[in-house]
Amino acid sequence: MSVDHPDTLSDEGSVRAALRSPRRLRTEILAGLVVALALIPEAISFSIIAGVDPRVGLFASFTMAVTIAFVGGRRAMISAATGAIALVVAPLARDYGLDYLIAAVLLAGVLQIALSLLGVAKLMRFIPRSVMTGFVNALAILIFTAQLPHLIDVPVLVYPMVAVGLLIMVFLPRYTKVVPAPLVAIVLLTAVTVFFALNVPNVGDEGELPSSLPAWLIPDVPMNMETLSIIAPFALAMALVGLLESLMTAKLVDDITDTHSDKTREGWGQGVANLVTGLFGGMGGCAMIGQTMINVKVSGARTRISTFLAGVFLLVLVVGLGDVVALIPMAALVAVMIMVSVGTMDWHSIAPKTLRRMPRSETTVMLATVAVTVLTHNLAYGVVVGVVTAMVLFARRVAHLTEVVDIAHPDDDTRVYAVRGELFFASSNDLVYQFDYVGDPRNVVIDMSDSHIWDASTVATLDAITTKYAAKGKNVDIVGLNRASADRHVRLSGQMGADH
């Protein structure tokens, strides 16, 4: 699998380096197996949310993981069928059926490729750290709450089994990391369940597992504008939600592994993966943050091998070993996901000491992101609200940094004002009210050496100031503009309708 760039072949994320190291290769293989086991119940659950057969979600997870292992830009990241995508496509599947769903998945893949090549990944730089923190914390909460249905109204044996699973994953790594603790917990609890014939919920109770390989599928829909009008809104929503979650997850893995990833490649890679998924009858998907955390943070995987094998193991398990996999108690997988939730939460961000030091605006942005995400169960909504909140609070804060100061009276007929600060629509809005149009002398000088004009709103405000002085028979001279501000002022002054 020669899919790494030449300059990265010697680092720990290199496929070739992993293939040459038995220890590293073992880690990648076992990580892929753990992820595959965790994917099965989630893929089935997401299929139910989307209103499709469980095989549609399972095949989507297989094709997404295998494809993104080759074309993705973030090594060791897991892509599969996800809850966010399931929520988006559920109305389409319910009202129009599977063929229209598959058509929307294919169109979403095309849109993701186009958007990525147009540079949408570069917009990640506008997502503040407080939004990222809220994103991570909300994810941890959602992962945990998703386990609650498996802990309510269940046999009492489930609770000690979950506790034993958690104890294994907490204490085993202190003694050995040869085998991932989650895998040990799953195997041990499954063996105990089978040996003692315990009557507890298992994977088989979640839905029927497929017994055949995925087949090539071309959706049977009319190729006309009516079909396009039906699937386009869903495809666009899928594309945007998928890109946002995938790029946010890639950034999170970058931080965890202290490495850089190609976000543009990851974006169009997601599009390619959705095209392949759609052609094999899958429901589409994007990066899975929970499974990625299992792979990277819990199991220690770092290469594309784990991602590829997660997909391969998933197919082998559900098709070839479906009867065995069906016996895995849900308690074991719930314990794994609880550990993922605990490990995902940024506990430092909510520590009292941190909250006391953090500016209120940063905490507000984080809480807004968490609240919206948890309430809607959609990470994309939370991120959008968080970014908007951060923009509003930033604009409000910067607006208060602008001031107008009376600095000189060279003679009886002249007054000089200094305008200081960054001038844009929020900060320049009240600028027009900070001058004495009646009491000022005949000549007014506005010195803008310590300010910068950022937008047309500021130019319109300056025009309004000049107009108000002119109405009183007074002359205004604007001086001290830097080159960029002067260019913007010359180009837009008199064109903004300020004279009304």
DSSP string, 246-310: HHHHHHHHHHHHT----HHHHHHHHHHHHHHHHHTT----EE-HHHHHIIIIIS---SHHHHHHH
Q: What number is the average pLDDT over the span 107-120?
A: 94
For residues 498 and 359, give the distance between their C-alpha atoms in angstroms, rounded to a whole number: 37
Q: What number is the average pLDDT over the span 103-117?
A: 96
Q: Which residue shows structure tokens 């559920």?
A: 90
Residue type, 159: Y
Compute CA 206 distance to the chain's CA centroid, rounded to the nearest angstrom: 27
Q: Is 225 helix (H, G, I), strand (E, B) or coil?
A: helix
**HSE value, Cβ hemisphere, 13 Å, CA-based, for 339:** 29
For residues 456 and 451, give the distance between their C-alpha atoms in angstroms, rounded to a whole number: 15
Q: What does the pLDDT look like over 246-288, one tens digit per residue?
A: 998 998 899 888 899 999 999 999 999 999 999 999 999 999 9
For residues 58 and 210, give the distance between their C-alpha atoms in angstroms, rounded to a whole number: 8
Tokens of 403: 């001031």
For residues 492 and 494, give the distance between their C-alpha atoms in angstroms, rounded to a whole number: 6
Longest Cα separation, the chain? 101
Tokens of 429: 């809005």
**HSE value, Cβ hemisphere, 13 Å, CA-based, for 405:** 12
Q: What does the pLDDT look like over 387-409, one tens digit per residue?
A: 999 988 887 877 777 889 998 89
Task: Write down the pTM of the prediction.
Answer: 0.73
Does residue 467 register a pLDDT over 70?
yes
Q: So what's the pLDDT on residue 498?
A: 45
Say if residue 377 is exposed, middle or buried (CB neighbours under 10 Å; 0-12, 13-18, 19+).
Answer: middle
Residues 6+ apart with CB under 8 A from 349: 133, 137, 366
Average pLDDT, the chain: 88
Q: What does the pLDDT look like over 73-95, one tens digit per residue?
A: 999 999 999 877 887 888 899 89
Rounded to the nearest 10 degrees, how much is the dihedral formed by the CA atoms of 457, 460, 466, 469? -80
For residues 292 and 306, give the distance between their C-alpha atoms in angstroms, rounded to a whole number: 10
Q: So what's the pLDDT on residue 12?
A: 62
Q: So what's the pLDDT on residue 8?
A: 40
For residues 117 and 265, give the distance between their C-alpha atoms in angstroms, rounded to a whole number: 9
Tokens of 264: 């543009």
Does residue 127 register a pLDDT over 90?
no
Q: What number is the average pLDDT over the span 120-129?
A: 81
Does residue 3 register a pLDDT over 60?
no
CB crowding 133-154: b at 16 or more within 10 Å, else e: bbbbbbbbebbbebbeebeeeb
Residue type, 37: L
If we measure between CA atoms, which residue out of 315, 232, 237, 267 comes closest to residue 73? 267
Does residue 425 register a pLDDT over 60?
yes
DSSP string, 410-465: EETTEEEEEEEEEESTTTSTTGGGSS-TTTS-SEEEEE-TTEEE-SHHHHHHHHHH
Does residue 162 register a pLDDT over 70?
yes
Q: So what's the pLDDT on residue 497?
A: 56
Q: So what's the pLDDT on residue 11?
A: 57
Q: Is 482 helix (H, G, I), strand (E, B) or coil?
A: coil
Does residue 141 register a pLDDT over 60?
yes
Given a contact cutoff of 8 angstroms between Cβ atoms, the answer to whether 279 and 239 are in contact is no
Residue type, 246: S
